[in-house]
Structures are given as structure tokens and as C-alpha cells.
Amino acid sequence: MTTEELIYLAGFFDGEGTATVKRIKNKNYRFGIYFQPIVFITNTNLEILEEIKKITGTGIIINLKNLNPHWKSRYNLQISGQEARAFLKNIFSYLRMKKVVAEEVCNFPFFNGHYRTENDFNIQELAFNRIKGLNKRGIA
């Protein structure tokens, strides 16, 4: 990606994006849970999201269900796993509003879910809750 594209992506992500770690239940993992980094960019303009997907070379676009029939259709570009971390690392130096949460997601402690210890799991839970707090809506 060019510098110009990275700056554009960072600005768009700062305004329309979310970076988080998803907590996924799966009985095959120790403690029944594994964690996955994920980036969401939501917008009513499908063409812009398709352009971002083309620039990044990753992600899926989902048509979100509208809560109000009078609203425009909304679309969500989702980038998950290592691609989400790579996306955040690429745009990191150009971020303004979401730099702290992007850093937390990039530095999330990932351990092999099958072999992690209880201490590893507790470290992940603390990091997960920190990120959740950073993404909380409303007045801090």
C-alpha cells in the first residue's frame, strides 16, 4: 500500500472503524474460549468499503440488518485474525483517535488455546476487558 492509501485508510478507520478482540466460545479450547483480533469498518456506502477491501486485499463485507426501515442500508467490512493485526500495524503511525485501542489489539497476548495455562488465560481476560473499556460508548 502507498503512503497516501495508508493515510486514507487510517482517517477512514478513525472515523468509521472499530478494533477489538472477539471472545469466541469453543469447547475444543482450554477454558472453552479463544480470542481473535477483529477490525470492523461500517458505512452506508458499499463502494467505499469495496475500495478499502481492494486496497487491503483482505476482509469480508456483510450487509447489516437495519433496525429502522427508513434508514439506509449499512455494510460492515470485517477483517479478522492476523490480517486485522497487520491492517492496524500498517495504519498505526497515521491514526489519531484510535491509536491506543489499535496498540492494545496489536499487543494482545495470544497463546495457543489448547495449551495455555490459567495464568495465560487470566492475562488474556485482563487485556480483553481493557480493550472492551476503550471501546465503550458514551462519556468516560
91 burial type by CB count under 10 A (0-12 exposed, 13-18 middle, 19+ buried): buried
> CATH class for domain 3-129?
alpha beta
Q: What is the pLDDT of residues 76-86, one digit of tens each?
A: 999 999 999 99
- Note whether 126 and 41 are within 8 A (CB): no
Q: Where are the domains of the chain?
A: 3-129
pTM of this structure: 0.87
* pLDDT single digits (tens) 55-75: 999 999 999 988 888 888 899
